[in-house]
Amino acid sequence: MKIANLLKTVVAALLLVGCGHNTTPEVMKFTNNLTPEEIAAGKFTPEVMWKMGRVGSQKLSPDGTLAVFTITYYNMASNKGKTDLYLMPAEGGEVVRLVRNASSPQWAGGRIYYMAGDGQVWSILPDGSDKVKVTDVEGIESFGIAPAENALFYTKKVHVVDINSSDVYADADKSKARIYDDLMVRHWDYWDEGNYSHIFVAPMDGGVVKEGKDIMEGEPWDAPLAPYFDAEEIAWNNAGTALAYTCKRLTGAAYAISTDSDIFIYDLATGLTRNICKEWGAMWGYDKYPVWSPDDTMIALRSMRRAGNESDKERLFVWFAKDGTMKDLTPNFDYNASNVVWEGNDTLYFIAPITATHQICRVGLDGSPVEVLTSGDHDINSFSKVGDKFLVHMNTIMKAPELYTLDKDWALCQATFINQQIYDNIPMGRCEKRWVKTTDGKQMLTWVILPPDFDESKKYPTLLYCQGGPQSVVSQFWSYRWNFQLMAAEGYVVVAPNRRGLPSFGQEWLDQISGDYSGQNIRDYLSAIDDVAREPWSDEERLGAVGASYGGYSVYYLAGHHEGRFKALISHCGIYNFESMYGHTEEMWFVNNDYGGAYWDEKNRTAQRSYRNSPHKDAAAWDTPILIFTGLKDYRIPYTQSLEAFTAAKLQGVPAKLVAFENEAHQVFKPQNSLVWNREFFGWLNKYLK
């Protein structure tokens, strides 16, 4: 049966055919199970937020008629989430739950492949029939099916290096030591125990795949890259004869100080691997996310120029198989490129952050300028494209992600309404765009989020939101960790400036922060909060500052330099002491780029813009109540930074509280931990600002 004809029978067939794991297929009517009390209160709370369905991976069928996507719901009592697979017409309409407890959907031919709850790859037809188990391999973490359905890859951890003492010494099997002779000993939220993510390939010949070939056998590096292990960094060619993947083939201190990853091509027939980036020339920064052209003669990739700068411009390059040359398609486009999709063999679509939004762009191989196709205050996070049909994953500060279509005029039309029950019963705060003049005479875009029942005749406590990264845009993002709507619902005006050091305003604006954490970007923060505080509805006697990561550093720095502006501060996993941070963290390229190098280097110790302005040096000036969050598994900005700051506050008699999550890292992800985080967050603000 052709896919185009399946659409008419999908719903009926699904009601008759068992298609999932422990499920009965059903046409979905989405509700978020709000209680009568929550509806009557009409207030957006952390409890309501955690009832929202989270729309995830989405893919259009090869003929563009159907869309498969995931939705994740969380259960607060079990402290877990569950992801299911859904199907709908590409233009929107009735949504059917296709498979329960499944993730990572992808199309190949007319079938949908997915990762099931048993940890194996399965496939199914879109009408819910012919469910087939594809793999029987322990430890699969991600997978990819060749478009020709003749091969697959999967990734899993492989033990390569003996680091645990029980591995090194066979007669000490109860010993619990790790033994290192080089960096990096830990990364993000885990200790290196000698296990690395490797890619395995296997033919698909109709049987269940029980074992593939490790194409990185014995090598001490990861593909995809740590710490995110994003399977989008691996791509089959359309013929299923070659695999392109991202890898950083460095170890030890060399790995810790460099971001130099490359694109490799593995040829299934010969078993040979080539590095197309180093073959072409000096590509020393991040080179990632290969995407094959339809005719398999080219690969599009994203490339950074500087090997020690994780926030350099992501340039869109194309590699030509014919002669091994590379071409930069965005040399005059001062923004990053992501989510690259081919149209034919001569045009590429991608997403770029532009003026604190994310838009779809287009560029040709002919050297013509980049076209920005969409517009509006929104974040397009990803999209699928088949022919002239687009399926877009989009959100704003006022609405969580949903799926949208694009018409011929590049206008967005909502296709899913997963959380409509919440919006129908609970008002959201209005988001306004504001341009603030900075101390050096530039214009800075600042989002101002107002309480849902905003009354300009009243005065509201106002929060300065300090962004982390430090180079991540304050766009129209929706966050389940730092949610502006929760702050607005609690009666706060939120001021979210795109201070110096953030993307989407050109590379010069972005680069300014490196080596100057306490400089112009801090003055930008103060310009934003001072501008809004002058409004008659903002109470300048009830101002607070909050932030995480670099934003947490900002709060620590402002604690010693805010000149009485703020009455309450909150820092989450912030940098407090530059010198100890340099030795505590793991990605040395980050501190080398942002601090200028090591603290023992005399030029860095005396540099006006670096170590001399570490927040701990001005702790004696602290006098403002401060709440500090940290995660004990955070090795990016280790929890010891938070302990130092808390100790400094308490020994000086400054009101302070420390909340340390035993099972969280740099962010708080677990549902019940999130409830605790939000209750402590708003408890602190309400105590000192209301």
Confirm if 127 and 116 have CB atoms less than 8 A apart: no
Confirm if 286 and 303 have CB atoms less than 8 A apart: yes
Buried b or exposed e, range 217-230, using 16+ CB within 10 angstroms = eebbbbbbbbbeee
Buried b or exposed e, range 159-177, using 16+ CB within 10 angstroms = ebeebbeebeeeeeeeeee
3-state secondary structure of 480: coil
Confirm if 182 and 220 have CB atoms less than 8 A apart: no
Catalytic residue (one of 142, 197, 527, 549): 549
Alpha-carbon gap, residue 147 to 446, rounded angstroms: 44
666 catalytic per annotation: yes
Nearest Cα neighbor of 62 from 26, 113, 98, 18 is 113
Nearest Cα neighbor of 113 from 82, 152, 63 is 152
> Is the link from the previous residue into 470 a cis peptide, with omega within 30 of 0?
yes
Alpha-carbon gap, residue 373 to 363, rounded angstroms: 10
Nearest Cα neighbor of 99 from 108, 118, 86 is 86
Can you point out the beta strands (E) in 250-388? 262-267, 273-275, 287-292, 298-303, 315-320, 325-328, 338-343, 347-354, 357-364, 371-372, 379-386
Alpha-carbon gap, residue 55 to 46, rounded angstroms: 18
Please report where in the chains the tokens 């604190």 appear, as a residue.
Answer: 356
136 catalytic per annotation: no
378 catalytic per annotation: no
Alpha-carbon gap, residue 106 to 61, rounded angstroms: 9
Catalytic residue (one of 84, 516, 531, 634): 634
Measured over all CA atoms, what is the biggest interatomic distance in the chain, rounded to whole angstroms?
76
Distances (CA, A) of 454 to 183, 314, 428, 429, 686: 53, 40, 11, 8, 18
Contacts of 334 (CB under 8 A, 6+ apart): 313, 506, 507
Alpha-carbon gap, residue 566 to 540, rounded angstroms: 9
Contacts of 304 (CB under 8 A, 6+ apart): 259, 285, 286, 287, 310, 312, 313, 314, 315
What's the half-sphere exposure (Cβ side, CA atoms, 13 Å) at 545?
32
Confirm if 575 and 552 have CB atoms less than 8 A apart: yes
Contacts of 670 (CB under 8 A, 6+ apart): 79, 663, 664
Q: Which DSSP letter does residue 368 get?
A: P
Alpha-carbon gap, residue 118 to 627, rounded angstroms: 41
**Across the chain, how many H-helices and E-strands are there?**
17, 39
3-state secondary structure of 419: coil
**Catalytic residue positions, numbered:** 549, 634, 666
